[in-house]
């Protein structure tokens, strides 16, 4: 933006304008560096001499900056320039103040929330700096991370086989290469769901993909499978200029598939000028049965459709893989994944979660280092058995074994609020988004946790980001609607709830959220009709009782609400893990039965 003190035209306005006293340059510089590392652009101009042109630039940047950080110190509180810029930022609603040296704030800014950075120690993981980032996200939305030099996305390999049914194989090869590269130290690998968002989209160029995924390199290619022979063509492409970095074509027998995956992974590592740890193979054969492996890949193909039908088809295929190889740990882990995904919305939790745990334990008996199985056990412990601390430990172990596993960070984020660590939970979800930046469910959970933290504006920012990815994200309508309801806007909340529940994929349990909005609008008769229908349906099929409880609470049926909560308690429904946080239970909190239930669940 600046060259030798001259304004450079046509450059984008910075995300953040930093107002500070020049005496504090050394104090401010590390903060600016940390913010830029987080992915924000910062204007702070530490060098040029004030003058007419400089004043013009200051005025333009100040007027157009998306947010303003004012740095309060003993020097800056006495600066009329800093105080004037702070007042401008406050008037426009973009002010985010920080303080050093326990400076005494100007009297007209003492009511404004200010982040104390005395103890941050130039540590981006410090509580103070994370708090500042959260405040900035409330103004700016989710961050766009700068791509690291060794950040890579493996795009879905095209199925070039004559039989379109072989798509499961090309998708499976893509997923296996992602998994192999994720184990390489120093490599940031975009997760499967983010990479697969670009499947079949030929109109998106490398730069656009790199920007969306925060990567510097793309792997693309194709797979042709004919009988027992396979051909994989692959190339690495630079996001910056679109140039090819490396390419290779491999012709192999199907029986050599694991050695081929290892060879491709090592070639990529070499091309990126990295090193594997020791001589250990990047890919270890998970089974000796090729039939079991191809059946497993078919199971993953259907699992990734994320529908009830797809999950049940995946279950059948994972079971078939175990008939072909009873010792196949990843097939057991796949079954555990299926039951965890079916639980609550489609299958009663007291039926699904014990099955998930049994399968995950069998997986770990065969492969004690299998992170996916550890994640499933962590889900069961936290979401169903309510052994919250033990669940967190299992997922933290999975994170340590597989630090590039976005789902591990996400599950940790869902579990930490149950042990009183809501802020850390939100940060874990953000780390999942770093790895999987267009996974709509993670944006949804960021929205949910910010709702629980009563940071409504930031919650809505994440909700907007979710719908930019998927305009039909069902649970997103619930989270955004709940945020509007918490803000006192029942009319807008009702609109969000009704639009979400009109989708073909809607879960009928969430009709209870419509009840909450109708009750807030005084439309009690309509609310009662929906509740009566849900209660009737709950006698024929599974309906989440904790959501029924919210509906009853909204219309003042406290006894029915607690009866529903008891049913949810005995079913061990995952939603009760947030009983102490969700505003839907607000009408119940003064009743002694509420405190008793929170204690019985073991929430903090």
What's 164's domain CATH number?
Answer: 3.40.50.10610
Nearest to 582 by CA among 567, 566, 570, 565: 565
Rounded to 10 deg, the angle between the 440-452 and 406-415 helix axes is: 20
Looking at per-residue pLDDT, the higher value among 82 and 363 belongs to 363
Residue with tokens 């091309």: 271
Whether 425 and 385 share a structural domain = yes
Whether 279 and 323 share a structural domain = no
Render pLDDT for 21-51 as a digit per residue (tens, 0 to 9).
888 888 888 898 788 777 787 887 654 444 4
Total structural domains within the chain: 3
Whether 85 and 217 share a structural domain = no
Report, as an integer, the average pLDDT of 222-227: 89
Looking at per-residue pLDDT, the higher value among 584 and 145 belongs to 584
What are the tokens at 101? 């040296």
Nearest to 267 by CA among 248, 280, 252, 283: 248
Report, as an integer, the average pLDDT of 553-570: 96
Structural domain range at position 122: 2-140
CATH number for 300: 1.25.40.10
Residue 490 covered by a domain: no
Residue 568 covered by a domain: no
- Residue 4's pLDDT is what? 24
Whether 269 and 294 share a structural domain = no
Domain final residue, candidates 94, 120, 140: 140
Give every CB contact of residue 301 below 8 A, 6+ residues apart in sequence: 167, 168, 171, 172
Q: Rounded CA gap, 151 and 142, in Å? A: 19
Identify the DSSP state of 156.
P
**Predicted confidence (pLDDT) at residue 368 exceeds the cutoff of 90:** yes
- Residue 281's pLDDT is what? 52
**Predicted confidence (pLDDT) at residue 305 exceeds the cutoff of 90:** no
What are the tokens at 422? 């809501």
Render pLDDT for 567-586 as a digit per residue (tens, 0 to 9).
999 989 889 999 999 999 99
Whether 268 and 300 share a structural domain = no
**Predicted confidence (pLDDT) at residue 163 exceeds the cutoff of 60:** yes
Residue 126 covered by a domain: yes
pLDDT grade, residue 510 (50/70/90)? very high
Whether 58 and 168 share a structural domain = no
Nearest to 179 by CA among 264, 251, 271: 264
pLDDT grade, residue 276 (50/70/90)? very low
Residue 403 covered by a domain: yes
Q: Rounded CA gap, 79 and 57, in Å? A: 19
Whether 109 and 192 share a structural domain = no
Domain final residue, candidates 413, 437, 461: 437
Q: How far is CA 397 from CA 47, 372, 507, in A?
A: 47, 11, 33
Render pLDDT for 407-454 as a digit per residue (tens, 0 to 9).
999 999 999 999 999 999 999 999 899 888 889 999 999 999 999 999
* DSSP H or E stretch at residue 414: helix 406-415
CATH number for 118: 3.40.50.10140
What are the tokens at 505? 């994929």
Evaluate whether 440 touches 470 at the Cβ level (below 8 Å): yes
- Residue 216's pLDDT is what? 87
Evaluate whether 287 touches 293 at the Cβ level (below 8 Å): yes
Q: How many CB atoms lie within 10 A of CB 368?
A: 10
- Residue 7's pLDDT is what? 26
Whether 261 and 302 share a structural domain = no
Beta-bridged to residue 246, according to DSSP, are 236
- Residue 48's pLDDT is what? 44
Report, as an integer, the average pLDDT of 123-152: 75
Residue with tokens 């500042």: 132
Residue 442 covered by a domain: no
pLDDT grade, residue 56 (50/70/90)? low
Whether 19 and 78 share a structural domain = yes
The long-range contacts involving 422-431, CB below 8 angstroms and separated by at least 24 positions, are 422/449, 422/452, 422/453, 422/581, 423/127, 423/130, 423/131, 423/134, 423/453, 425/449, 426/134, 426/450, 426/453, 427/130, 430/142
Torsion angle of the four alpha carbons 10, 12, 17, 20, in this order, in degrees rounded to the nearest 10: -40
Beta-bridged to residue 7, according to DSSP, are 2
Whether 109 and 158 share a structural domain = no
Report, as an integer, the average pLDDT of 347-359: 94
Whether 306 and 345 share a structural domain = yes
Whether 60 and 183 share a structural domain = no
Residue 75 covered by a domain: yes
Q: What is the mean pLDDT of the chain?
A: 87
Residue with tokens 């013009």: 56
Residue 202 covered by a domain: yes
Render pLDDT for 314-350 as a digit per residue (tens, 0 to 9).
999 999 999 999 999 999 999 999 999 999 888 988 9
Domain final residue, candidates 399, 419, 437: 437
What are the tokens at 465? 């980001």
Render pLDDT for 388-409 as a digit per residue (tens, 0 to 9).
999 999 999 999 888 889 999 9
- Residue 57's pLDDT is what? 54
3 state DSSP class of 239: coil
Cβ-based burial of 292 (10 A; exposed 0-12, middle 13-18, buried ≥19): buried
Q: What is the pTM of this model?
A: 0.72
Residue 210 covered by a domain: yes
- Residue 560's pLDDT is what? 96
């Amino acid at each position: 933006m600046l060259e030798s003190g001259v304004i450079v035209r046509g450059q984008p306005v910075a995300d953040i304008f930093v107002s500070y006293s020049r005496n504090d340059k050394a104090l401010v510089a590390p903060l600016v560096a940390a913010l830029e590392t987080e992915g924000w652009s910062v204007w702070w101009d530490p060098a040029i001499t004030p003058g007419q042109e400089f004043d013009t630039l200051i005025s333009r940047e100040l007027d157009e900056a998306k947010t303003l950080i004012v740095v309060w110190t003993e020097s800056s509180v006495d600066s009329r320039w800093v105080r004037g810029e702070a007042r401008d930022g406050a008037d426009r609603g973009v002010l985010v103040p920080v303080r050093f040296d326990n400076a005494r704030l100007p009297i007209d800014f003492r009511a404004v929330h200010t982040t104390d950075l005395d103890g941050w120690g130039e540590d981006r993981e410090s509580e103070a700096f994370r708090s500042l980032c959260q405040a900035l996200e409330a103004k700016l939305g989710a961050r766009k991370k700068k791509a690291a030099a060794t950040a890579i996305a493996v795009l879905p390999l095209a199925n070039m086989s004559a039989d379109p049914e072989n798509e499961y194989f090309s998708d499976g090869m893509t997923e296996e290469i992602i998994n192999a590269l994720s184990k390489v130290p120093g490599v940031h690998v975009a997760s499967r769901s983010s990479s697969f968002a670009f499947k079949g989209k030929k109109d998106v160029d490398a730069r656009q993909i790199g920007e969306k995924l925060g990567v510097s390199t793309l792997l693309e290619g194709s797979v042709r499978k004919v009988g027992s022979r396979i051909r994989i063509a692959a190339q690495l492409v630079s996001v910056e200029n679109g140039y090819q970095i490396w390419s290779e074509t491999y012709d192999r027998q199907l029986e050599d598939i694991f050695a081929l995956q290892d060879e491709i992974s090592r070639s990529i590592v070499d091309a990126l000028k990295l090193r594997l740890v020791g001589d250990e193979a990047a890919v270890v054969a998970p089974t000796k049965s090729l039939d079991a492996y191809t059946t497993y890949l078919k199971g993953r193909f259907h699992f990734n459709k994320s529908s009830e039908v797809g999950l049940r088809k995946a279950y059948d295929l994972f079971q078939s893989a175990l008939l072909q190889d009873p010792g196949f740990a990843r097939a057991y882990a796949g079954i555990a994944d299926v039951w965890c995904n079916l639980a609550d919305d489609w299958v009663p939790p007291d039926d699904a979660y014990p099955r998930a745990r049994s399968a995950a334990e069998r997986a770990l008996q065969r492969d004690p280092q299998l992170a996916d199985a550890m994640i499933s056990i962590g889900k069961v412990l936290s979401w169903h058995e309510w052994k919250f601390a033990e669940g967190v430990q299992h997922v933290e172990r999975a994170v340590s074994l597989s630090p590039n596993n976005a789902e591990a960070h996400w599950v940790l984020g869902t579990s930490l609020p149950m042990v009183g660590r809501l802020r850390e939970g939100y940060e874990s979800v953000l780390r999942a988004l770093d790895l999987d930046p267009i996974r709509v469910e993670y944006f949804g959970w960021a929205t949910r946790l910010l709702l629980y933290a009563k940071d409504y504006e930031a919650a809505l920012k994440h909700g907007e980001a979710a719908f930019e990815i998927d305009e039909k994200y069902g649970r997103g309508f619930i989270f955004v609607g709940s945020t509007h309801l918490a803000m006192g806007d029942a009319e807008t909340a009702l609109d969000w709830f009704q639009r979400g529940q009109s989708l073909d994929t809607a879960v009928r349990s969430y009709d209870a959220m419509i009840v909450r909005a109708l009750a807030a609008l005084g439309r009690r008769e309509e609310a009662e009709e929906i509740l009566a229908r849900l209660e009737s349906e709950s006698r024929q099929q599974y309906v989440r009782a904790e959501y029924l409880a919210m509906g009853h609470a909204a219309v003042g049926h406290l006894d029915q609400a607690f009866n529903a909560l008891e049913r949810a308690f005995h079913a061990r429904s995952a939603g009760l893990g947030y009983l102490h946080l969700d505003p839907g239970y607000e009408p119940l909190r003064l009743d002694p039965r509420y405190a008793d239930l929170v204690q019985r669940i073991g929430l903090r």
